[in-house]
Amino acid sequence: MKRIGFLTSGGDCQSLNATMRGVAKTLYQMYPDVEIYGILEGYKGLIYGNYRLLQSRDFSGILTEGGTIIGTSRQPFKAMRTPDENGLDKVEAMKENYRKWNLDCIVILGGNGTHKTANLLREEGCNVVTLPKTIDNDIWGTDITFGFQSAVDIATTAIDSIHTTAASHGRVFIVEVMGHKVGWLTLHAGIAGGADIILLPEIPYDIESIAKALEKRTKEGKRFSILAVAEGAISKEDAALSKKELKAKRKNNPFPSISYQIGKEIQDRTGQEVRITVPGHTQRGGAPCPYDRVISSRLGAAAARLIIEEKYGYMVGFRDGEIVPVPLEDVAGKLKMVNPDSTIIREAKGLGISFGD
């Protein structure tokens, strides 16, 4: 008999359930008596011993269901070695529960912080297989993460919907897309939605360049403009600051987000009317798109095969159209950033899209 734990950690996304379903269905095919335990609310459940035995019926009908049936939470990796308020050693607690539950493996679905802790557990002797979950698509070792395409679809729909009102009123609209550190989501949604300006964390912007791009459109007789702005977009001025200086500056920033600051600066420089739209957590919600359902099912089935073959310590990635195992130690702690010199950026600029640089 195999005893497998499932754990979802960090921000939720549309294909967590679909991916767990892929793992479970494949395991049930190979091991009719397999026991699958849902570790509740992410690493919190592994630390404090909260879990429940899942039945095969729990995985029925969840292919199209967003969120996660076992809950999630954010447990920062940097705090994992710090005892909790009662002095509990979190790492030792996780290892103890792993042993107490007599698990053969934990399947961990999550993003960058989740993979750091998963690798820590691997180093501490736990059998781990991970799956790349994030709407940001920023996990190293995989071309695509599940949840990304669904979020692109939602952000693109937001930009599409803005076009008609922007055109009707002759306004500048800013659509703020999720992404603090990387801009894959904003880049893809911006291109797909026909944004005129795309601002990414990896390409610091010059507000004067943005103003010139908008004025150029006005001279060409175009009555409106749309900016797709990553929530982590940063000016060249701020990018030159130290982390300490930037933190202090942002502490005194009167604007609720970068988009509102950019909007005010655009109005001051161009006189154009600006409106801000923030889709926010809608980008994480709802049913997964068909593409994500396929990717999730494939990744889940491949993870199950690793468990069957007892090949632990890997993330299941997607490269060049194929599912591949990637050593966990090669993944943890690395971010897949947008390269400012990449072909997709050059092609977008060829379309006339400004990146404010």
From first to last of its 357 residues, what are the pLDDT tens digits of the chain? 899 999 999 988 999 999 999 999 999 998 888 999 999 999 999 999 999 999 999 999 999 999 999 999 989 999 999 998 999 999 999 999 999 999 999 999 999 999 999 999 999 999 999 999 999 999 999 999 999 999 999 999 999 999 898 888 878 999 999 999 999 999 999 999 999 999 999 999 999 999 999 999 999 989 899 999 999 999 999 889 888 888 888 888 888 999 999 999 999 999 999 999 999 999 999 999 999 999 999 999 999 999 999 999 999 999 999 999 999 999 998 999 999 999 999 999 999 999 999
CATH 3.40.50.450 residue window(s) in the chain = 3-147+288-331
Whole-number Å distance between alpha carbons of 15 and 170: 38
What is the gyration radius of the CA atoms in the chain, in angstroms?
Answer: 22
Angle at 44 between CA 38 and CA 45, to 5 degrees: 30
- Choose the catalytic residue: 58, 136, 153, 292: 136
- Domain with residues 150-284, CATH architecture: 3-Layer(aba) Sandwich (3.40)
Active site residue 104: no
pLDDT computed for residue 103 by the predictor = 97
Quick one: pLDDT at residue 21? 98
CA distance 283 to 247: 27
pLDDT (0 to 100) of residue 68: 96
From the number of C-beta atoms within 10 Å of its C-beta (0-12, 13-18, 19+), residue 268 rates as exposed
**pLDDT of res. 231:** 96
- Quick one: CA dihedral 12, 18, 21, 23, positive or negative? negative
| Burial class of residue 177, CB neighbours in 10 A (0-12, 13-18, 19+) | buried
CA–CA dist 158, 176 (Å, integer):
10
Q: Which fold has domain 3-147+288-331?
A: Rossmann fold (3.40.50)
Backbone torsions φ then ψ of 274, nearest 5 degrees: -120, 140
Residues 38, 51: contact at Cβ < 8 Å?
yes
Spatial separation of the C-alpha atoms in residues 314 and 142, rounded to whole Å: 12
3 by Cβ neighbours in 10 Å (0-12 / 13-18 / 19+) ranks as: middle
pTM of the shown model: 0.94
pLDDT of amino acid 31? 86
Domain ranges in the chain with CATH number 3.40.50.460: 150-284
